Structure 1
Amino acid sequence: MASQTLPSAIVTGAGSGIGRAIAQRLGADGYAVIVADLSAAGAAETVRLLAEAGHQARAVVLDITDAAATQALIDGAENLRVLVNNAGIFNTRDFDSLTAEDFRKMYEVNLVAMFTLCQQAARVLPEGGRIVNLVSRAAFGARNYAHYVASKAGVAGFTKALALELAAKQITVNGVAPGVIMTDMLLERAEGLEGLRLQQPGGKLGTPEHIAHAVAFFVDPRADYVTGQILIVDGGRSVGGTAAF
């Protein structure tokens, strides 16, 4: 099948972890995936994995805070149907040591860059287009990274507002809020994994594939009556409250 006949999907931060799993799932679902990432090596590996599985993909290396680069990304996306805003940053700071610069950088990457990409994509997405933003369960409250919590709460609020803005164009906008997911970043904290596992109602941690499945639900054409929603994927931990993990 020629590449131009396939709908395309942009996944930011797709060079590893959750973003890679989303790219793989959308490739399996019939999209030509545009793998956008700051890491050339990571993006190339994701494209290799997709190609190995028989899916169409190409890499775009960019900094999502560069509006000119993201506009070029959108302009180069033939037959664009889906935008998944997965790229973001995370670090821990106790409140006393947080600086205004910490807040600005977190907002610039996690919220402002996402807003810019959404605005650029919304101008070209057709009726039936899909935008999915990665939030975080931390958006509902967590200790030791107030700047991250604030940025992701902003993503959640923006997702709901944008859903109303784009409803008349029949473009849905939803969010997925992961809980504790087994990514490389989490594995770096190996000494605390068992404690995290024991805090989960089902006694297990999530995988990037769990998040990819949630994104795929929102992208599915049959989900056209679902918009402005934030789906928490955390194994049920938030049922008893969304306090810190």
Structure 2
Amino acid sequence: MNMTAVALVTGAAGGMGQAIVRRLAQDGFAVVAVDVGEAALGALAERLTHEGLEVEPRVVDLTSEAQVDALIDGLPPLSALVNSAGLFDERKFFDVGQDDFRRMMELNLIAAATLTQRAAARMAPGAKIVNIASRAYLGARHHAHYVASKAALVGYTRASAMELAEKGILVNAIAPGLIDTPMLRALTPERLAAQLALQPTGHAGTPEDIAHAVSFLAGPQMGFITGQVLFVDGGKSLGGSGS
């Protein structure tokens, strides 16, 4: 593995994760692709390796501190970390219980924070951390626990940027809107149409749109943006509270 530019991407087997892994590998990073889905992760790594890209799959439960420690201890210092792993769940407001909140926070916030701490402790100046939040952190109906977890991740991004500035590490977040992934395609046609009607562009984005944004924030050319949230949402954040 290339020891000079190693990027770690979590949630690598997901729709956005796969695009991010591919783009960073194309950018010249040696990419460590992390997920719990062993079959999908292995297929991704095999496919990209055949394309001549450097991708190493690692099956890791990010909610396990021991597994996170073992992962980071077994790698050279990272040049880039992309916290893309996340959990989404639609549930009516009065149906969201404490366990639902705990489950959402455990992966969407705590796991990302734990990995960030462990990785940042060994990162060199110039390293980048990119957290995949969501436009929904501004507020949305039918998933209050998800909204809260992504709002917390944005807050953690800003706090991390302040804490890690003295180490020369830049930390930013990307807030995707509606992206054409299996999660979006699982919506009913009526619900999808209602969501798209709120977008100035009138259509969903692609995983590659997110990957381009990650490439911008994680690349070696970036040196003066930190603590920011980049919306990649087709303009939805310009107004509207969701449906």
With the shorter chain as reference, the TM-score category is over 0.9
Q: Deviations over 1:122-172 (max 9, x none)?
A: 111111111100100111100011111111000000000000100111100
State yes or no: 1:203 paired with 2:196. no
Identity %: 46
Contact 1:34/1:77 (<8 A) preserved: no
Choose which of 69, 72, 88 in structure 1 pairs with 2:70.
Answer: 72
Partner-residue secondary structure (3-state), 1:18: helix
Q: What is the match of residue 35 of structure 1?
A: 33
Contact 2:20/2:208 (<8 A) preserved: yes
Q: What is the match of residue 244 of structure 1?
A: 242
Q: What is the match of residue 12 of structure 1?
A: 10
Whole-Å separation in 1 of the counterparts to 2:102 and 2:66 = 20
Q: What is the match of residue 217 of structure 2?
A: 218
Partner-residue secondary structure (3-state), 1:222: coil
List runs of 5+ in structure 2 lacking aligned partners: none
Contact 1:6/1:30 (<8 A) preserved: no
Q: Deviations over 1:59-115 (max 9, x none)?
A: 111111011111111112224211100001010111111111111111111101111
Whole-Å separation in 2 of the counterparts to 1:83 and 1:38 = 17
Choose which of 143, 161, 164 in structure 2 pairs with 1:163.
Answer: 161
Whole-Å separation in 2 of the counterparts to 1:60 and 1:82 = 16
Please give the residue correspondences for 1:79-118 in structure 2 after superposition, counting only pairs within 5 Å. 79-118=77-116
Q: What is the match of residue 48 of structure 2?
A: 50
Partner-residue secondary structure (3-state), 1:34: strand
List runs of 5+ in structure 1 lacking aligned partners: none
Partner-residue secondary structure (3-state), 1:96: helix
Bigger Cα displacement from structure 2, 76-85 vs 8-17: 76-85
Task: Return the offset for 1:6.
Answer: 4.4
Contact 2:195/2:242 (<8 A) preserved: no
Whole-Å separation in 1 of the counterparts to 2:29 and 2:143 = 35
Partner-residue secondary structure (3-state), 1:212: helix
Whole-Å separation in 2 of the counterparts to 1:103 and 1:63 = 19
- 1:113 and 1:79, CA in 2 relative to 1: closer, same or farther beyond 3 A? closer
Whole-Å separation in 2 of the counterparts to 1:89 and 1:148 = 8
Partner-residue secondary structure (3-state), 1:221: coil
Number of residue equivalences: 242
Amino acid at match of 1:188: A
Whole-Å separation in 2 of the counterparts to 1:86 and 1:218 = 14
Amino acid at match of 2:78: L
